[in-house]
Structure 1
Amino acid sequence: MAQFRFIWLLLFTNTFSQAAWQQQWHLELDSGFASASSSPAFDSEDQWFGDAALRWFPQYGNVQGQLVALSQAKQKQDNQHDLIVAELFWKTELAERDLLVGKQRIDLGVSYGFRPLDMFLPYRRNPVAIQVEEGVGVVSISQFSGYSEYSLFYSDSYIATDTEGLQQRGIGMRWYQLSDDSEWQGLAYYDNKRALNLGGSWVTTFGDAWEVHAESRYQQHYQRYVSQLTYSNIGQIAPVSEQQFQDGFQALLGMTWASLAGHNIIIEYWFDNRALSQQQWQAVTDISQYLLQQGGSAADLRFSQGAVFNGQNLLQHNLMVHWHRDIEDWQPAFDLMLAPEDGGVIATARLDYEFSQGWTIGARLRYLGGASDAVYQRLPERTVGLVKLEGHF
């Protein structure tokens, strides 16, 4: 509530000081259709949906913010309306150091398909529909010296509206270095849920068209939903539990190629040992199919297995190929995400057209599937398609 009072104070101040006040509005509208998969772990069905988001970016002096009015409607479900303070922070200089206080999105990753260094809040990569990415509470002080930066910070993600149960608060430090054609970054962070987090990244360019990047993170503890059902313990034990594990590790290696004709290609591979193994996924599949055969009386137990699909990465090994091209007012793009372990595929096509300055109309189409026994086949949706309108004013 205090955050909203502060925003109204900024509006009031605007009446007396137009010179210091800046703002921008961003409108997003989309409407589409999602077809359900035949996954036994989800009670999903075909449905139409529509989303609308009006974002307001006010700035008064050293204070900046992002307020989002979000409306989401789905067929056969109640409409949802939210007013979200996505960011609200104050930046200033103190003793020749940069000081930041407030709620801000912290995105330190250097990769495209997956960012291991998003250790404060996991931001959804390449969403199809409208997505609101909130910041976390942060107090940081940074010092710049030539081509390097050193930062100390405290962060708190409990203030975010929806963090999918991943709230934590902690303290950390960051180092950044630019050297010739390469950038280096190192982070150390300790929080109340995952204990020690260590991460780093490297980016370098060579020639006129090539770039290579790498990113990794270690976390001392991590939590994951695990299915506990077997054929012999049904009705005797909770079907799914959230358990804590030790020594989580993610690593990514990628490269980018860009041509003078506007083509851009990104290829990335990443590994995440927090994801379930193929043997564990097979056990989830077997028990879900067994419960499906038992009929409606076992539906609740069967749908409980859907919690196991929560996680930043479903598979330990992941490969993504991204292509986009800049053609004046047209922006075509295509993503192909592959699961080498089981032949799963997620393919996403995008096309945007800027028909007026600041205004874009676009379309999205995503397919989830692949081999018959792929994990992506067991997600709740098979295809998602939509059209969207986006404008800045």
Structure 2
Amino acid sequence: MPRLLFLSLLTLVSLAAQAQSLDESSLQLRAQSQAAQRGTQGPLAQADALQLGMNTSARQSLLLEAEWKARSGPLNTTLYAQHLQRDHAGASSRAAVNELYASGGWGGAAGLQYSLGRKLVSWDVGYAFRPNDMVGQEERRTLVGNYNRGRPLLQLEHFSAETAWSLVWVNPARPDGQGGDEEALALRVYQHAGAWDLHGFARLGREQRGSVGAAFSVVASDALELHASARVNTRSLVWRADAQAALPSAALPWRREQQVGSSQLLLGGTWTNEEQLSLLLEYWWDSQALSRADWAAWRERGGRLVQLAQHAPAALRPALAANLAWQSQGFANSSLQQHNVFARLSWTQGAWSWAGDVLWSPQDGGRILTGSVAWQGDRWSLQAGLRHWSGPADSVIAQLPTRRLAYASAVWAF
């Protein structure tokens, strides 16, 4: 085991052993194994066929992780270490401080609360997509829960029995940050009214300027919950193809640009019966994704590159392979398609839980299917599952570099 991981784990275990002097302390160790089958179509597969080695996604991997959380007085910390082994590359290790902040307040329970430092802040009501996660901007629909890293911030909050508000100055020392790393002010207000939870959001970023949003969740009956979230952005940072790029291009033919006037909408609901069988349905619209016309131009460029490659001399093949690989930059926006439908069926019985879900793109028929089973004990939790990317040959999801992925994970908490 590499020295960095060994020292990180030794530090975490040593800190956990001294936990009796802390107000709160917990340690999690997780091992996760994955086995993937690469796709046979799409830009990375085409690039790899032209020049072997362009597709560097792992077929097999083993990830070992450790996370230690502690609180002592006003100080809160989360330390993280990982070791990753992949079949196509050397092993790598890293350690990070995921959270480190001071928290406290003035005026007792009815007064102001503050947090200063690196902290995780998660907002909004959705499951598969969250338009108003204005601070954390966490990745959704991961196979197993992520050990996310917080952002540097100053947060002021106020809570009462029915209302709350939170003001966050995030990334205060990042004047050149982009996307989630952009310096910004974000505001969240909350009102509880009977069966309704109402949320309002606003954000003012250095580059992306202003955005406003609103969300609600309501318990409509003992079995039914409904939720919705919407956001309007003055500007958004998105990936778009350079229409003037040469074919083939000598540099990445994509650029991050400011999209003016984007909008995002989520509608969803959850039905749960007495036997703990639960059905979640969500639809979302995301104008930051590539449009139908954008994807048509993307397919046309990819087809022309493939045609050039069929008759290109050997000296030109590396450049064509690179251009095909660059086509995968189109997958980098917040959503693959503007219209998306998600459904998840889950069942819990005792320590066991089963789940199956599908993400469907109605614009081209692409879909991502996932099935999983999990067991939860006092200290141990086990999970295994399979994810499958499919759809018509010209659908965007079918062009992704992975076709199938099986995974298993084990977590020990103490």
TM-score between the two structures when normalised by the length of structure 2: 0.85
Alignment equivalent of 1:56, drawn from 68, 77, 94: 68
Q: Choose between structure 1 and 2: higher strand proportion.
A: 1
Provide the rounded CA distance (Å) in 1 between the counterparts of 2:145 and 2:344. 20
Give the aligned partner of residue 152 of structure 1: 167
Q: Tell me the number of residue pairs that the alignment of Structure 1 and Structure 2 aligns.
A: 378
Provide the rounded CA distance (Å) in 2 between the counterparts of 1:235 and 1:19. 60
TM-score between the two structures when normalised by the length of structure 1: 0.90
Q: Kindly indicate whether the alpha-carbon contact (under 8 Å) linking 2:29 and 2:413 is maintained by their aligned counterparts in 1.
A: yes
Alignment equivalent of 2:125, drawn from 98, 105, 110: 110
> Residue 211 in 1 paired to residue 213 in 2?
no
Give the aligned partner of residue 368 of structure 1: 389
Deviation of 1:373 (Å): 1.3
> Residue 25 in 1 paired to residue 27 in 2?
yes
Alignment equivalent of 2:146, drawn from 128, 131, 148: 131
Provide the rounded CA distance (Å) in 2 between the counterparts of 1:282 and 1:129. 33
Question: Over residues 366-390 of structure 1, what are the superposed CA-to-partner deviations in whole Å (9 max), with x where a residue is unaligned?
Answer: 0012122110011111111111111
Look up the equivalent residue of 1:319 and give its one-letter code: V
Look up the equivalent residue of 1:358 and give its one-letter code: R
Provide the rounded CA distance (Å) in 1 between the counterparts of 2:246 and 2:34. 43
Distance 1:234 1:153, change over 3 A: same
Alignment equivalent of 1:79, drawn from 86, 91, 95: 91
Provide the rounded CA distance (Å) in 1 between the counterparts of 2:204 and 2:286. 20
> Residue 328 in 1 paired to residue 333 in 2?
no
Give the aligned partner of residue 313 of structure 2: none
Q: What is the 5 A alignment of 1:79-98?
A: 79-95=91-107, 96-98=111-113
Distance 1:329 1:235, change over 3 A: closer
Question: Over residues 287-328 of structure 1, what are the superposed CA-to-partner deviations in whole Å (9 max), with x where a residue is unaligned?
Answer: 113212333241111111111210120100000001111110
Q: Kindly indicate whether the alpha-carbon contact (under 8 Å) linking 2:22 and 2:70 is maintained by their aligned counterparts in 1.
A: no
Percent sequence identity over aligned pairs: 22
Q: Kindly indicate whether the alpha-carbon contact (under 8 Å) linking 1:72 and 1:79 is maintained by their aligned counterparts in 2.
A: yes
Q: What runs of 5+ residues in structure 1 fail to find an aligned partner?
A: 1-7
Provide the rounded CA distance (Å) in 2 between the counterparts of 1:38 and 1:193. 39
Look up the equivalent residue of 2:153 and give its one-letter code: V
Q: What is the 5 A alignment of 1:284-363?
A: 284-295=298-309, 296-297=317-318, 298-354=320-376, 356-363=377-384
Question: Over residues 200-243 of structure 1, what are the superposed CA-to-partner deviations in whole Å (9 max), with x where a residue is unaligned?
Answer: 11010122111100011122111222222579754477522222
Q: What is the 5 A alignment of 1:152-231?
A: 152-156=167-171, 166-228=180-242
Question: Over residues 183-205 of structure 1, what are the superposed CA-to-partner deviations in whole Å (9 max), with x where a residue is unaligned?
Answer: 00111110112110211110101
Which is worse superposed, 117-126 or 265-274?
117-126
Look up the equivalent residue of 1:39 and give its one-letter code: Q
Which is worse superposed, 116-125 or 333-342?
116-125
Q: Kindly indicate whether the alpha-carbon contact (under 8 Å) linking 2:252 and 2:326 is maintained by their aligned counterparts in 1.
A: no
Which is worse superposed, 245-254 or 118-127?
118-127
Question: Over residues 242-280 of structure 1, what are the superposed CA-to-partner deviations in whole Å (9 max), with x where a residue is unaligned?
Answer: 222101111101011011001011100000011111121
Give the aligned partner of residue 8 of structure 2: none
